[in-house]
Copies of this chain bind each other. A is one copy, B any other.
Amino acid sequence: MNKYRIAVIPGDGIGKEVVPEGLKVLNAIAAKFNIELSYNHFDWSCETYKKTGRMMPEDGLEQLRENDAIFLGAVGFPGVPDHLSLWGLLIPIRREFEQYINLRPVRLLPGITSPLRDKVPGDIDFWVVRENCEGEYSQIGGMIHQGTEHEAVVQESIFTRYGTDRAIRYAFELAKTTDKNHVTSATKSNGLFHSMPFWDKRFATIASEYPDSETDQYHIDILAAQFVMNPERFDVVVASNLFGDILSDLGPGVTGTIAVAPSANINPERKHPSMFEPVHGSAPDIAGLGIANPIGQIWSAAMMLEHLGEKAAGAAIMQAIEAVLTATDAPLTPDLGGRASTCDLGDAIAAQV
């Protein structure tokens, strides 16, 4: 029996509501596929911050390190400035564990209606590969003349060949496994004078290592528009940290709802634990109501199992999600047009498993 230790961090807001549903489905799957999952629970959150001034204990990263994977809900809540909560928990985990790929499927699921005219499942099905450890997200910078009318802030983006190449290379490797073997690069070399011309150069260099792959590139502005106008066009889209962030919310928007979208923060070398979390955030506006859609969290569980090598178990979760979404009497949450609770929908998917 394969055994895995999973660090569980529900975090804030609806994270605390959807993570239990993810665990419910994981337990059902584990029983069926003869997998042993042991959970280490961590209540780190903005509550912790308010009590202790930290999002996690000083040795928090060490406590996570001994796990095989991290299963996270959502981080951030009104009352703690976002940059403090995120840089105190989510971003340090991504960086310490070299989770330099943020992999996000953009897929129109059966049973869900795209806001785009005429699109049906199968039309929209691609990957966003986001660089997840450097780039525009940086604490480097600061302010001068603070509090005066001459105030100015410097925010630095740092791109290294090391960090850029490994993200782009991952995208090409992923494309090799798809039907289209096509990689699109997101750039903005006409506006961002230093970073994006560099990104383009590295993309061209790495592309030359993959002569069988087709490539193209778009400036981020028109690329965003293309996600709406021609989403069929894409297979693997590779982007910097910020651009990948934008595209991987926009993509799920185009497929009907952010609430079902999963993400995998991956350390491809498996030297460190990878982390799995829904794309959505803590959603303060509906937190506590018990109506959050748990599918993003449950799909993230499927990605986690796949990453751990349990492909069949991961696929079984996806089948269960799709079966429930297309059932005539599915207990859907309000965002999907139903009246069911988070727990009802989680129950249905677990039962389907």
Chain A interface (Cβ < 8 Å from any Cβ of B): 76, 81-83, 85-87, 91, 113-117, 136-139, 141-143, 148-162, 188-198, 220-222, 224-229, 241-242, 245-246, 248-250, 252-254, 257-258, 281
Q: Which residue of B lies closest to A160 (CB)?
A: B152
Q: Tell me whether A155 and B229 are in contact in the complex, defined as CB-CB below 8 angstroms, given that A162-B149, A246-B221 are known contacts.
A: no
Q: Which residue of B lies closest to A249 (CB)?
A: B221
The answer to whether B189 and A83 have CB atoms under 8 Å apart is yes
The answer to whether A225 and B252 have CB atoms under 8 Å apart is yes
The answer to whether B193 and A87 have CB atoms under 8 Å apart is yes
Q: Give how many copies assemble into the complex.
A: 2
Query: Quick one: which of B85, B195, B258 contacts A153, CB cutoff 8 A?
Result: B195
Q: Tell me whether A250 and B253 are in contact in the complex, defined as CB-CB below 8 angstroms, given that A139-B193, A189-B82, A191-B242 are known contacts.
A: no
Residues of B within 8 A of A141 (CB): 156, 193-195
Residues of B within 8 A of A245 (CB): 188, 191, 220-221
The answer to whether A161 and B157 have CB atoms under 8 Å apart is no
Q: Which residue of B lies closest to A280 (CB)?
A: B222
Q: Which residue of B lies closest to A244 (CB)?
A: B221
Residues of B within 8 A of A155 (CB): 156-159, 192-196
The answer to whether A191 and B81 have CB atoms under 8 Å apart is no
Bound together, the chains give a CA A208 to CA B242 distance in angstroms of 30
Bound together, the chains give a CA A158 to CA B193 distance in angstroms of 13
The answer to whether A253 and B225 have CB atoms under 8 Å apart is yes
Residues of B within 8 A of A257 (CB): 229
Q: Can you list 8 pairs linking A and B with CB atoms under 8 Å apart?
A: A113-B117, A117-B117, A151-B198, A154-B156, A191-B241, A224-B249, A246-B246, A250-B250
* Smallest CB separation, A130 vs chain B (Å): 11
The answer to whether B229 and A250 have CB atoms under 8 Å apart is no
- Most chain B CB within 10 A, of A139, A153, A257, is at A153
Residues of B within 8 A of A281 (CB): 222
Residues of B within 8 A of A249 (CB): 221-222, 224-225
Residues of B within 8 A of A81 (CB): 189, 197
The answer to whether A253 and B241 have CB atoms under 8 Å apart is no
